Amino acid sequence: MEPAPRSASLNELRPDDAGSGDPPFRRPGLIVRAGPFALVAVAAEASLALPPGPHAWTEVTISLLLLAVVPLAFLLPWDRLPSWMPVLVPLVYTGSALALTLAAGTISGVGIVVLIPLIWTALFHRRWESACVVVAIVAAEIVVSLVQSAPGAVIVRRELLWAALGVLLAVATHGLRDRIRHSQDANARLQERIGELMVVEDRDRLAADLQGSVVQRIFAAGLKLQGAASQTAQPEVRRRVESSVTDLDDAIRLLRQAIFGLEHRLGPLSLRQQVLRLCADMSPVPEITFAGPVDEALLPAAEDQLADLLRVALGLIAPRAAQIFLRVEAGQDLRVVVTGTGPEPWPAGINGAGPDFAPLVDRGGQAGLEIEIEPVADGTQLAWSSPLRSSPSRRALADAADGR
């Protein structure tokens, strides 16, 4: 019997997956993996009952004892043992096979059983463990040859051939494992890509429907209201109608931004899409304005930095705000302005913001950015600027974003 691998099946293996801290002989699928090797071991031991029988009962006893040690490996606390210790189990099995060969005699045909631990290790363990087992097999063959009193040339030839066979089996099996793993990874990426394409197709259809029907209807309603406003002489009515038209224009702008986000979701998210996704589940939902080439403004590390700062800023603003206004503008630098207004009083303190905004200031300081906190009517405004990717200081910004 041989040790169970560190994962449930061959499909889940990695070439160097042992030593991760999980018990190596207590994983699902143990019987399926260990059963065939256990049957071969039992059959090899039982073959000693065939004529002419064992040559030496001492070696038979040693072989059976070593083989009995192997199942005891499943009782060891492997999670508390060093990561190199699992290799001792196939080595003990190799010793059992050596004793079996010595007991049965070199012409009994059981010598091939010494390859069993190598096949097991190559299938389920790491490369260096396979190398250890190959060395053990070569050593076992040397012992067998010396007991047989074979000529020196025969010993050399035998060791060369056994070593070549062992290396061939180990290299071929580990290479097959690598190819299976790469194929599974490629298949997983392909399935993910197919899923993304299906989602994007649905989003494109939704974006087209919104653009072709909803936006046009809102625009038509705005035109009708403008026409109605021109036909009334009452200033208050005219003012309210014009205010409604302005609100509809803002709604069209926000809707177009949402459509833009829907149409460009394939691949890595752009900065615009990250901002829209960050604000999608907030309450109240921020009114977002983009200006300039926002998506091409920053390096990827700086985009992640900006998204992190924006997440903190919105988290501080949202609990007190009845309305949140967010503006992201790419000019000489990328300017982010978050404004929150609401009926509840805002804390007073340094820069009109108080200690509640200290986490944002600290986070900005760590990133090398200065957070501007200013009171506004019924609220607070947070703002900061990030250098563009073409700015001379972009390297310093990227280093700060990576935490270097």
**Would you state the pLDDT for residue 11?**
39
User: In which residue ranges of the chain is pLDDT below 70?
Assistant: 1-29, 106-107, 207, 210-212, 256-268, 343-355, 390-404
Beta bridge partners, 396, equal none
Residue 68 lies in a domain: yes
Q: How far apart are the C-alpha atoms of 246 and 397, rounded to whole Å? A: 39
Structural domain for 75, as ranges: 10-149
What distance in Å separates the CA atoms of residue 393 and residue 399, rounded to the nearest whole number? 10
**Residue % of the chain over a pLDDT of 70:** 81
Within a domain: 62: yes
Q: Are residues 145 and 274 in the same domain?
A: no
Whether 22 is covered by a domain: the verdict is yes
User: What is the identity of the amino acid at 19?
Assistant: G
**Tell me, what's the pLDDT at 1?**
35
Name the amino acid, one letter, at 216: Q
CA distances from 12 to 6, 8, 38, 39, 233 (A): 9, 7, 22, 24, 77
Classify residue 332: in a domain, yes or no.
Answer: yes
CB 260 within 8 A of CB 272: yes
Cis peptide bond upstream of 284, omega within 30:
yes
User: Do 273 and 143 sit in the same domain of this protein?
Assistant: no
Give the pLDDT score at 135. Answer: 92
Pairs from 180-188 (Cβ < 8 Å, separation ≥ 24): 180/10, 180/11, 181/13, 181/14, 181/15, 184/11
Question: Does residue 307 belong to any structural domain of this protein?
Answer: yes
H or E stretch at 324: strand 323-330
Number of domains forming the structure of the chain: 2
DSSP character string of 241-304: HHHHHHHHHHHHHHHHHHHHHHHT-SSSPPHHHHHHHHHHT-SSPPEEEEESS-TTSS-HHHHH
Residue 195 lies in a domain: no
pLDDT of the residue at 351: 44
Q: How far apart are CA 96 and CA 65, in angstroms?
A: 8
Question: Around 342, how many Cα atoms within 13 Å sit in the side-chain half-sphere?
Answer: 20
pLDDT at 392: 45
Please check whether residue 173 lies inside any domain of the structure: no
Non-local (6+) Cβ contacts of 342 within 8 A are 320, 321, 322, 323, 378, 379
- Grouping H, G, I as helix, E, B as strand and the rest as coil, residue 161 is helix
Final residue belonging to a domain, choices 149, 176, 206: 149
Determine how β-strand 334-341 pairs with β-strand 323-330.
Answer: antiparallel
Domain boundary among 149, 171, 192: 149
Peptide bond into 52 cis (omega under 30): yes
Last residue of a domain, one of 114, 149, 184: 149
Position 346 scores a pLDDT of 61
Give the per-residue pLDDT at 27.
Answer: 63
Q: Which amino acid is at 175?
A: G
Q: Is residue 183 part of a domain?
A: no
What CATH number corresponds to the domain at position 344?
A: 3.30.565.10
In the prediction, which pLDDT does 397 show? 44
pLDDT of residue 7: 38
Specify whether the CB–CB gap between 402 and 300 falls below 8 A. Answer: no
What per-residue confidence (pLDDT) applies to 8? Answer: 37
* DSSP percent split of the chain into helix, strand, coil, nearest 5: 65, 10, 25
